[in-house]
Amino acid sequence: MAVKPEHGARWRRLARFHRETLHGYERRLVKIGGEIRRIRECAGLPQSVAEEAEALVKKYFDTVAGFPPEVVAVAVLWTAAKAAGAPRPLEDFLKCSKAEERRVMKAAWRLKEAMKQSRRPSIEDYVKALAARVNLPVAVVKAAVELLEKNRRLLFGKNPWVSAAAALWLASLKKLGLLKALAEAAGTTTASIRKAAGRMRV
């Protein structure tokens, strides 16, 4: 919506602040992206690493926003290369940049911590982990995940290991002997799994 005179000075100030903030964010992304591409070419990195690095900048922009573009570019490329299974010494990146090693290390550490916090296992991860421990087939895993999706609201705040075990038990049609095996694998009791299963809509 266009800002009109009748909107008042306060409205106009807010609109100007929004425009400048948005444009500032976009300008920072352009600068960092340019540095990423330049360093990638200089260091001989795959295009996929540069793409992952740019994705990291967008996802964790608030974490790295306080660092200069050249520092951010080296930190995310270094991190992306490790994630891609092709780690390179930090020196390889620093040779292609004016960034200070100390600041790059600090930015990379902050990025690593932010990534750790965002990597919370999904309920599907718990189901797969338990299924692997008790040798359940893929069909049962799929049915258990669908059951948990259907009951997501009911299970909010509950122990994910117990919920996953209950779903697997129900999905296997309460296979004889499985309840005890699931309880041992999940580090819980058969009673807890039965109780969780009783809350689920099948």
pTM above 0.75, yes or no: no
Overall domain count for the chain? 2
SS3 assignment for 121-136:
CCHHHHHHHHHHHCCC
Between the alpha carbon of residue 93 and those of residues 110, 121, 122, the distances in Å are 18, 32, 34
Name the burial class of residue 69, with classes exposed (0-12), middle (13-18) and buried (19+) by CB atoms within 10 angstroms of its CB.
Answer: buried
Q: What is the pLDDT of residue 61?
A: 87
CATH (domain of 90) = 1.10.472.10
Does residue 113 sit in the same domain as residue 137? no
- The pLDDT tens digits for 68-91 are 999 999 999 999 998 888 889 999
End residue of a domain, out of 118, 142, 158: 118
Does residue 81 sit in the same domain as residue 12? yes
Does residue 133 sit in the same domain as residue 169? yes
Residue position matching structure tokens 């359940």: 136
Does residue 24 sit in the same domain as residue 113? yes
Where do the DSSP E strands lie in 59-195? none
Question: Is residue 94 domain-resident?
Answer: yes
- The pLDDT tens digits for 155-198 are 777 889 999 999 999 999 888 889 999 999 999 999 999 999 99
